[in-house]
């Protein structure tokens, strides 16, 4: 992976370029979620038409179905889904923890039962990399030890230590595999934990970032219900312990406002189900804020979702038609809405990048909020 900083603006904002074996990614970047080897309601060509340079796949889901060994036979996620740009895959640990039944971490990994059929599986720092080698993702995430919150300080501290231990095992294993010719074009990111506790975050960041063989670092364990202010403060604090010369990825975040606030706090990469899930629930993003397409006031509205939007849906269809399709439960709706919401997120990131490169961040952010009726 090649990484360079192209420009900076206000506070910690930065615009970077990440080059993987499959694409050149300009940051700040939002990675649409394609859990099961497809972004829900869209296909590979849709993602290309949206200009997506990287999407996310979920290792837990793909490991269980169709199985990473099948995906490997098709040349990994790229060959299987036909999306030629980059993939980032998570470790599967979070889903084993949240979706798997009776998940149990121990010193060496996580035991869990499949939510499909109850079959037993065991994820280790090494096994989740083996799965991700088969998936062929451009960026692999390490297994981390998650704990349910709230929890005792002792248990959280243990989770941080274990996460560091597993990160060491992962990077050692990855280097040894690469020496054997496995995963040579694949990159690996560690995940900083510690909740919203500054000392824990500092501890985790310091320990992990000392492992300089990692290609990038993520901030995990946020956007799990804590107040926005606490999330922003934690990111502000944590990025100071992360290296300048590697990508910074804030996992599972967030709203357009969250993206803007965290770009300012030094984050380069984001992923979230929000644009895709909201689309399916009838919540569409515009420069003026969200709208609920089901609303009766749109029944005869001949305008597109957002007059300023250049997406396929806005160029072709009215709010009245989308309102009808949504109310009628038509599958057609889901693709049109998803295309729009992802286009919104990717465009916002492109505009943020331009603002940083033009050293115009403060004005850009002010305008972003002003259109939403918020003066800052």
Residues engaged in binding a second copy (CB under 8 A)? 36-45, 61, 65-66, 70, 73-74, 80-82, 280, 299-300, 302, 316-318, 320-321, 323-325, 327-328, 330-332, 334-336
Interatomic CA distance for residues 287 and 37, integer angstroms: 29
Q: If we measure between CA atoms, which residue out of 141, 51, 135 comes closest to residue 92?
A: 141
Which residue of the set 46, 90, 138, 268 is catalytic? 90
DSSP tag of 33: B
Q: Please say if 130 is a catalytic residue.
A: no
Interatomic CA distance for residues 364 and 359, integer angstroms: 10
| CB of 301 vs a second copy, minimal distance in Å | 10
DSSP tag of 203: H
Q: Is 214 annotated as a binding residue?
A: no
Distances (CA, A) of 164 to 41, 148, 198, 251, 354: 37, 18, 17, 18, 36
At 299, give phi and psi (nearest 5°). Answer: -55, -35
DSSP tag of 295: -
Residue 41 or 242: which CB sits closer to a second copy?
Answer: 41
At 275, give phi and psi (nearest 5°). Answer: -65, -40
Which residue of the set 138, 258, 271, 306 is catalytic? 271
Q: Is 225 annotated as a binding residue?
A: no
What is the three-class DSSP state of 270? strand
| CB of 279 vs a second copy, minimal distance in Å | 11
| CB of 45 vs a second copy, minimal distance in Å | 7
At 302, give phi and psi (nearest 5°). Answer: -85, 5
With contact defined as beta carbons under 8 Å apart, do 266 and 14 qualify?
A: yes
| CB of 108 vs a second copy, minimal distance in Å | 30
Residue 36, both tokens:
């099961």
Residue 7 or 66: which CB sits closer to a second copy?
Answer: 66
Asked if the bond preceding 37 is cis, omega within 30° of 0, the reply is: no
Q: Please say if 268 is a catalytic residue.
A: no
With contact defined as beta carbons under 8 Å apart, do 246 and 215 qualify?
A: yes
Contacting residues for 205 by C-beta, under 8 A, at least 6 apart: 192, 194, 217, 238, 241, 242
Interatomic CA distance for residues 239 and 115, integer angstroms: 35
List the beta bridge partners of residue 143. none
Q: Is 193 annotated as a binding residue?
A: yes
Q: Is 3 annotated as a binding residue?
A: no
Q: Which residue has the tokens 């919401």?
A: 341
Catalytic positions are: 90, 271
- Known binding residues for substrate are 90-94, 144, 193, 221
- Known binding residues for Zn(2+) are 309, 311, 314, 340
């Amino acid at each position: 992976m090649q990484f360079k900083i192209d420009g900076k603006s206000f506070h910690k904002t930065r615009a970077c370029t990440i080059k993987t074996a499959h694409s050149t990614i300009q940051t700040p970047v939002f990675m649409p979620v394609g859990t099961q080897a497809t972004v829900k309601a869209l296909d590979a060509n849709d993602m290309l038409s949206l200009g997506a340079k990287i999407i996310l796949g979920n290792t837990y889901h793909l490991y269980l179905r169709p199985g990473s060994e099948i995906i490997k036979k098709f040349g990994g996620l790229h060959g299987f889904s036909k999306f030629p740009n980059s993939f980032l895959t998570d470790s599967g640990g979070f889903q084993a923890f949240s979706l798997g039944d009776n998940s149990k971490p121990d010193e060496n990994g996580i035991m869990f039962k499949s939510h499909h059929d109850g079959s037993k599986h065991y994820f280790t720092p090494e096994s989740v990399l083996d799965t991700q080698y088969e998936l062929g993702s451009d960026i692999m995430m390490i297994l981390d030890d998650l704990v349910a919150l709230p929890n005792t300080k002792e248990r959280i501290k243990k989770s941080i230590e274990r996460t560091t231990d597993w990160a060491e095992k992962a990077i050692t294993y990855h280097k040894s595999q690469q020496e054997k010719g496995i995963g040579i074009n694949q990159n690996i990111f560690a995940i900083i934990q510690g909740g919203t506790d500054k000392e824990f975050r500092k501890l985790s960041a310091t320990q992990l970032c000392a492992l300089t063989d990692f290609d990038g670092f993520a901030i995990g364990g946020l956007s799990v219900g804590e107040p926005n202010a606490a999330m922003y403060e934690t990111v502000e604090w944590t990025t100071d312990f992360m290296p300048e010369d590697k990508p910074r990825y804030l996992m599972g975040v967030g709203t357009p406002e969250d993206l803007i606030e965290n770009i300012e706090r030094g984050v380069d990469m984001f992923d979230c189900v929000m644009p895709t899930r909201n689309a399916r629930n009838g919540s569409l993003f515009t420069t003026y804020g969200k709208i609920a397409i089901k609303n009766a006031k749109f029944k005869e509205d001949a305008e597109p979702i957002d007059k300023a939007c250049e997406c396929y849906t806005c160029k072709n269809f009215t709010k009245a038609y989308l309102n009808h399709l949504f109310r009628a439960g038509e599958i057609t709706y889901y693709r049109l809405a998803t295309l729009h919401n992802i286009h919104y997120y990717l465009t916002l990131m492109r505009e943020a990048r331009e603002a940083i490169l033009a050293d115009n961040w403060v004005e850009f952010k002010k305008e972003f909020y002003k259109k939403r009726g918020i003066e800052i």
